[in-house]
Amino acid sequence: MTDPSPARILHLSSTAVGPDVLRITVRGELDVDSAAEFQDAVTEHLAARSGLRALRVDCGGLVLCDSMGLSALLMVHRRTTALGVSLHLEERPPALDRLLAVTGTLDHLTAPPAAAASTPPSS
């Protein structure tokens, strides 16, 4: 049951889509073991590109996101907001949407930066 299958290991890759837009593709599991890695990697990218306007995280290959994974996404959102970078969580799998909906973080994480402060969750 706990075989480390390659599909479950977190894999990150990044491409510059334009001069001020970066896309990070996430594959595998974003969980208690890999959340810190994800957070650090994104923080480095943000630090390395000062003129960034948008960060697009492609979640299509995300097979699992647990509470620590969500915590990392929230931290990334906090960082991008502070830098005035807009965060876009794209290609969200249904399980991730469900997690964001239940925890009441969907609007916070997906609303445009100005309105991101607080919104009651949509039921």
What residues make contact with other proteins under the rule CB under 8 A? 1-2, 32, 66-68, 70-72, 74-75, 78, 102-105, 108, 117-121, 123
47 in Cβ contact with 83 (< 8 Å): no
Q: Is 51 in a helix, a strand, or coil? A: coil
Closest approach, Cβ 18 to other proteins, in A, equals 28
Sheet strands side by side (includes 11-18): 11-18, 21-30, 54-65, 86-90
First-to-last C-alpha distance (Å) of the chain: 35
Closest approach, Cβ 82 to other proteins, in A, equals 10
> Is 19 or 118 the residue whose CB approaches other proteins more closely?
118
DSSP 8-state class, residue 49 = -
d(CA 18, CA 54): 10
**Tokens matching residue 21:** 């837009």
> Is 66 or 91 the residue whose CB approaches other proteins more closely?
66
Closest approach, Cβ 14 to other proteins, in A, equals 22
> Is 59 or 106 the residue whose CB approaches other proteins more closely?
106
Closest approach, Cβ 74 to other proteins, in A, equals 4
> Is 52 or 99 the residue whose CB approaches other proteins more closely?
99
